């Protein structure tokens, strides 16, 4: 039996790969096997840089959270060994993954890149999702339900004046800019429990809620108005 193995995961503080997802497909197309693996230690044991990296790959690479998983790490390794013990040839993509699989299985693994395999984004074929990504699929704007579209319209009209389609920076680029900036910050403040929690998740660091320090409502704060370039160009009157 010949098989192809794909791994996704995170980085430990030592830069080693922590496998989070393992997929195996037999070359004859008769078998597909899949595991989402529990992390071997708690997220809080990662240093700040690795927590930040973990947030990034969750959002933009494999969509898996550190705490996801239904199989213990040691049990997954045993399942992998039991499966690959029956394989005559094992293929994987990428030097690092190939080397890791060779170490885990104690057998030779062929790097598909050495066989001229193109980038995964250039391979064509019908999409195939595992159960985890099917259940946790995130909808785009065309799939928002009616209530959420109504909420989006309300917020556009009466709160920040920004439309869903506005923007000049890609979401992933903004997140990287945010991480690069906050990495230099000694203290981060935000207003509101939900925003504070979100920023803490995005940056992987503690964020102080200004409301806990007695900060008044924004409408009660006085001072000259300050507009960004977007709102200066596309000035819209408020409801009053």
CB atoms within 10 A of CB 34: 13
The whole-number pLDDT of residue 126 equals: 56
For residue 70, pLDDT over 90 is answered with no
By percentage, how much of the chain surpasses pLDDT 90?
A: 21
Mean pLDDT score, 109-124:
79
Residue 39 has pLDDT above 60, yes or no: yes
Question: What backbone torsions phi and psi does residue 60 show, to the nearest 5 degrees?
Answer: -120, -5
**49-62 confidence digits (pLDDT tens):** 999 999 888 877 77
Distances in Å between the Cα of 64 and the Cα atoms of 10, 78, 97, 136, 168 are 9, 22, 18, 9, 27
Q: Do residues 25 and 1 lie in contact, with contact meaning Cβ atoms separated by under 8 Å?
A: no
Average pLDDT over residues 12-27: 90
Q: Are 130 and 8 in contact (CB under 8 A)?
A: no
Token pair 């193995």 is at which residue? Answer: 5
Give the Cα separation of 73 and 9 in Å (integer): 12
What pLDDT score was predicted for residue 239? 36
pLDDT higher than threshold 50 for residue 196: yes
More confident residue, 83 or 160: 83
150: pLDDT strictly greater than 60? no
Give the pLDDT confidence score for residue 141 in this predicted structure. Answer: 37
pLDDT tens, residue by residue, 76-110? 899 899 888 888 999 999 999 999 999 999 989 99
C-alpha to C-alpha distance for 129 and 144, rounded to whole angstroms: 21
Beta bridge partners of 9: 19
pLDDT at 121 over 60: yes
Q: Are 225 and 213 in contact (CB under 8 A)?
A: no
Determine the Cα–Cα distance for residues 9 and 29; give it in Å rounded to an integer. Answer: 25
pLDDT at 211: 86
- In this predicted structure, the answer to whether residue 232 has a pLDDT above a threshold of 90 is no
Q: Which domains does the chain have, with CATH numbers?
A: 2-135 (3.30.420.10), 141-233 (no CATH)
- Region at 223 (left for phi over 0; alpha for psi -120 to 50; beta for the rest): left
């Amino acid at each position: 039996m010949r098989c192809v193995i794909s791994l996704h995961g995170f980085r430990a503080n030592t830069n080693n790969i922590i496998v989070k997802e393992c997929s195996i497909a037999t070359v004859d197309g008769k078998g597909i096997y899949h595991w989402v693996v529990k992390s071997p230690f708690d997220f809080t044991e990662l240093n700040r840089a690795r927590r930040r990296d973990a947030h990034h790959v969750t959002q933009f690479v494999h969509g898996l959270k550190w705490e996801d998983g239904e199989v213990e790490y040691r049990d997954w390794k045993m399942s992998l060994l039991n499966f690959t013990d029956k394989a005559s040839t094992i293929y994987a993509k990428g030097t690092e993954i190939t080397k890791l699989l060779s170490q885990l299985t104690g057998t030779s693994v062929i790097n598909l890149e050495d066989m001229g395999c193109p980038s995964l984004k250039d391979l064509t074929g019908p999409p195939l999702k595992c159960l985890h990504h099917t259940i946790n699929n995130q909808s785009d704007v065309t799939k928002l339900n009616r209530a959420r579209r109504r909420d989006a319209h309300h917020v556009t009209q009466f709160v920040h004046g920004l439309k869903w389609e506005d923007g000049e920076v890609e979401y992933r680029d903004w997140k990287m800019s945010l991480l690069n900036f906050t990495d230099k910050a000694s203290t981060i403040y935000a207003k509101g429990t939900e925003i504070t929690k979100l920023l803490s998740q995005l940056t992987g660091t503690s964020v102080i809620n200004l409301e806990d320090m007695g900060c008044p409502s924004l409408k009660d704060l006085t001072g000259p108005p300050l507009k960004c370039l977007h709102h200066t160009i596309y000035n819209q009157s408020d409801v009053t």
